[in-house]
């Protein structure tokens, strides 16, 4: 039982989204690793390798059945279930995330929201009331929550992240700003 590389997991999500997007078009029933890779910016070999960690989903000489692959990836990623998450940080960004449609599409919803700022505790955001960060562990364990969304200042991200893992959180979605790719930055001399 070898663990799956983190980049693979992230790409699986990207593949899933693309398949979701094209599954509506009935004329596209089958997609090759080359086409899928091309569409999301990965090589065909990478697509096949990524999928191979979880089983065999394709048909040699043919490709992958779009609807089936979408379903299987959804199962692997847990997007077919409804998952509860918590939100930590209820600033501008955090409050926007409570209403973020991307999460809804993935079957994710917020079961609790937290802040360390006393002036925010007790406020309402949508249907939820902001609780103190100190209550995170209790809520996570009682409700068996596995996923957390972080929207705290970057300087607090590491510390909050550690406490989330300590509370039993298995996946953290981080919205502290980190650049996707800083192109062309070369070694100075």
Partner DNA sequence: TAGATTGTTAATCGATTAACAATC
DSSP string, 64-79: EEHHHHHHHHHHHHTT
How many angstroms separate the CA atoms of 171 and 94, rounded? 17
DSSP string, 78-146: TTTS-EEEEEE--SHHHHHHHT-HHHHHTTEEEEEEEES-TTTTT-EETTEEEEEGGGHHHHHHHTT--
Find the binder of its own copies among 64, 79, 95, 140 (CB under 8 A). 95
- Coil, strand or helix at 44: helix
Please report how close the Cβ of residue 112 comes to its own copies at its closest, in angstroms.
18
Site for DNA in 61-80 (CB under 7 A): 61-64
Q: Are 131 and 112 in contact (CB under 8 A)?
A: yes
Find the binder of its own copies among 45, 122, 141, 153 (CB under 8 A). 153
| Alpha-carbon torsion angle 110, 106, 77, 137, nearest 10 | -10
Residue 8 within binding range of DNA, rule CB under 7 A: yes
Q: Pick the piece of the chain touching DNA (CB under 7 A) from 60-68, 95-103, 131-139, 179-187.
A: 60-68
Site for DNA in 22-41 (CB under 7 A): 32-34
The entry of its own copies, DNA, none near residue 153 (CB within 5 to 8 angstroms by kind) is its own copies
Binding site for DNA (CB under 7 A): 5-8, 32-34, 42-46, 48-49, 51-52, 56-64
Binding site for its own copies (CB under 8 A): 1-4, 6, 9-10, 13-14, 17-18, 20-21, 39-41, 53-55, 76, 91-93, 95-97, 99-103, 149-150, 153-155, 158, 161-162, 165, 170-189
């Amino acid at each position: 039982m070898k663990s799956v590389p983190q980049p693979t997991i992230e790409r699986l999500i990207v593949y899933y989204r693309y398949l979701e997007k094209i599954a509506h078009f009935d004329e596209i029933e089958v997609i090759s690793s080359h086409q899928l890779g091309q569409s999301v910016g990965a090589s065909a070999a990478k697509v096949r390798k990524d999928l191979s960690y979880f089983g065999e989903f394709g048909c040699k000489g043919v490709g992958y059945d779009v609807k089936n692959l979408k379903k299987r990836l959804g199962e692997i990623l847990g997007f077919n279930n409804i998952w509860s998450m918590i939100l930590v940080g209820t600033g501008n960004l955090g409050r926007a995330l409570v209403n973020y449609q991307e999460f809804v599409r993935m079957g994710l919803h917020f079961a609790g929201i937290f802040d360390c700022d006393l002036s925010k505790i007790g406020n309402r955001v949508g249907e939820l009331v902001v609780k103190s960060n100190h209550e995170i562990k209790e809520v996570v364990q009682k409700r068996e929550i596995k996923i957390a969304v972080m929207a705290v200042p970057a300087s607090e991200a590491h510390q909050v992240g550690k406490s989330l893992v300590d509370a039993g959180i298995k996946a953290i979605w981080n919205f502290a700003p980190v650049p996707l790719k800083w192109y062309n930055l070369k070694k100075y001399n």
